[in-house]
Amino acid sequence: MTTLADPVPGGRPGDVERATALSAELTGRGVHGVVLSYVDTAGIGRVKTVPTAKLAAAAAWGVGMSPVFDTFLADDSIVTTDVLGSPDGDLRLYPDLDRLAVLAGQPGWAWAPVDRITQEGEPHPGCGRTVLRRIVADAAERHGVTFRAAIEIEWAVGRGDRPGGAFVPAVTGPAYGAVRQVESSDYAADLLAALAAQGVDVEQLHPEYAPGQFEVSVGALDPVAAADRSVLVRQTIRAVAIRHGLAVSFSPAVLGQGVGNGGHLHLSAWRDGVNLHSGGGRRYGMTAEAESFTAGVLARLPALLAVTAPSPASYLRLRPSQWAGVFTVWGRETREAAVRIVTGTTGQRERAANLEVKPVDLAANPYLALACVIAAGLDGLTSSAALPDEVTGDPVRLAAAEAAARGVRRLPASLAESVAEFREDEVVRAALGPVLADAVIAVREGEIAAADGLDDDGVAAAYRWKY
Ligand code: GLU
Ligand code: MG
């Protein structure tokens, strides 16, 4: 389990001694520097690094970084809110030593996610990892509910020279194809080795549908660790690719048309060590609480999209019949439903049953995405929300009258629509707190303005190499 304690000036109890020992051990293993990593509101990974010898100092006093990054856009321009975006101020970045990994794809480096606090030792309200830690701690304390989560990762592998900024697939074989597996053999084997060396338990790796696309799925962890792992796995996929002369894109839409890169989010709620999504008396073995949790997520998806699909490029992916789940429906193993119920196979259900939220991509800050999805689900659980009827097949085929009668809605088709929904959703905004909720609105509006006037190919090109 992830430590849910906030960092404190001087270091969390025991951390300085631990970091001192770690830094000696890492130096002995040829590690020269540690990457301190977080994800900003726009979904861009931001880092500072310290020499390995400074790890104990970082564990004690943190490393400085401006809060201005909370309102950076993907193109590094800056917007402002009442509180954020000013050139003033400084924050301290504290590594979570439990999550430190020696980077097998980047010899000489280790990596750790950070929490950010103020110079006065207060949690920084813009820190997404802190927000998620608190939501998870609060759910355990107030509701006796814990979670297991995993984020699937899809990415496109292109030629490393990126001619003119273009994406040229580095492999040509078909979707799920043996040809593509052979073409990518050395890269994929090195990637599996690197992930294993970093303690990432990979479930599977396969060639995906879109040109040059692959997917990796990993085992479930507590939500904070799952978000950390999502960042670490992407860092590793990119690092191994660069060593093979390849370029990777996690952008929701690498091209203006066609199937995009998803970041499907798997989540299960547990009480007293028992999976609420299995062994119950409701549909597909769900307990009443699991149904209500699922109903809560489903009902708030339009607003959640401002967090789970935060880029103008997200809406190139979120089109019907591309398995991205753009209708407010749920179904068992239904790949066009926004929420897919995964029961697992007989014999594995107690462990494996979960819900999969599909309109999530890898432009999303995974800490914020998990925080908001969990908050929506908990709101459903605590209000005993009713889960509507299941819809199977592709909802795009439903005639308008039937869709309306069954409560089936198309999810927002643009970032502007998602932001409008987010503004109206008290529960999702409250999950983030006012400072971060305002940052989400300001950053999304900044991205909308940045993409204004671009056609689909222009949007894809603008964000292709950002994520
Ligand atoms: N690439 C699809 C997406 O954009 C998902 C395909 C799948 O179900 O794995 O979400
Ligand atoms: Mg996939």
Residue 54, classed as helix, strand or coil, is helix
Res 242: pLDDT: 97
* Inter-residue contact 394 to 327 (CB < 8 Å): no
Res 456: pLDDT: 98
The answer, yes or no, to whether residue 2 has pLDDT greater than 70, is no
Give the residue-averaged pLDDT of 153-161. 97
Confidence of residue 59 (pLDDT cuts 50, 70, 90): very high
Q: Domains in the chain, start-ordered, CATH in brackets?
A: 15-122 (3.10.20.70), 137-463 (3.30.590.10)
Q: What's the full length of the chain, in residues?
A: 467
Confidence of residue 5 (pLDDT cuts 50, 70, 90): confident
The one-letter code for the residue type at 229 is R
Picking from 395, 420, 421, the residue whose alpha carbon sits closest to that of residue 410 is 395
Q: Dump pLDDT digits (tens) for 207-232.
A: 999 999 999 999 999 999 999 999 99
The answer, yes or no, to whether residue 23 has pLDDT greater than 70, is yes
Confidence of residue 40 (pLDDT cuts 50, 70, 90): very high
Res 86: pLDDT: 87
Contacts of residue 166, defined as CB under 8 A and 6 or more positions apart, other chains included, come to: none
Confidence of residue 238 (pLDDT cuts 50, 70, 90): very high
Give the residue-averaged pLDDT of 177-181. 96
Structure tokens, 281: 């008396």
Picking from 215, 155, 207, 205, the residue whose alpha carbon sits closest to that of residue 181 is 207
345 CA to centre of ligand 1 in angstroms: 21
How far apart CA 209 and CA 255 sit, in angstroms, is 13
How far apart CA 436 and CA 432 sit, in angstroms, is 6
Q: Dump pLDDT digits (tens) for 69-117.
A: 999 999 999 999 998 888 888 999 999 999 999 999 999 999 999 999 9
Ligand 1 pocket mutation pick from 152, 217, 257, 259 by most atoms within 8 angstroms of CB: 259
Res 1: pLDDT: 62
383 CA to centre of ligand 1 in angstroms: 31
- Specify the range with the lowest mean pLDDT, choosing from 22-26, 82-86, 281-285: 82-86
Ligand that comes closest to the CA of residue 260: 1
> Does this model's pTM top 0.75?
yes
Q: How many CB atoms lie within 10 A of CB 56?
A: 20
Res 341: pLDDT: 96
223 CA to centre of ligand 2 in angstroms: 20
The answer, yes or no, to whether residue 435 has pLDDT greater than 80, is yes
Query: Ligand 1: residues whose CB is within 6 Å?
Result: 154, 209, 215, 259-260, 262, 317, 322-324, 335, 358
Alpha carbon distance, N-terminus to C-terminus of the chain: 28
Ligand 1 pocket mutation pick from 257, 323, 336 by most atoms within 8 angstroms of CB: 323
Residue 287 has φ and ψ, to the nearest 5°, of -80, 170
Over the chain, what is the mean pLDDT? Answer: 96
Res 353: pLDDT: 96
How far apart CA 158 and CA 254 sit, in angstroms, is 10
Res 298: pLDDT: 98
How far apart CA 337 and CA 326 sit, in angstroms, is 7
Ligand that comes closest to the CA of residue 206: 2
What percent of the chain stands above pLDDT 90?
96
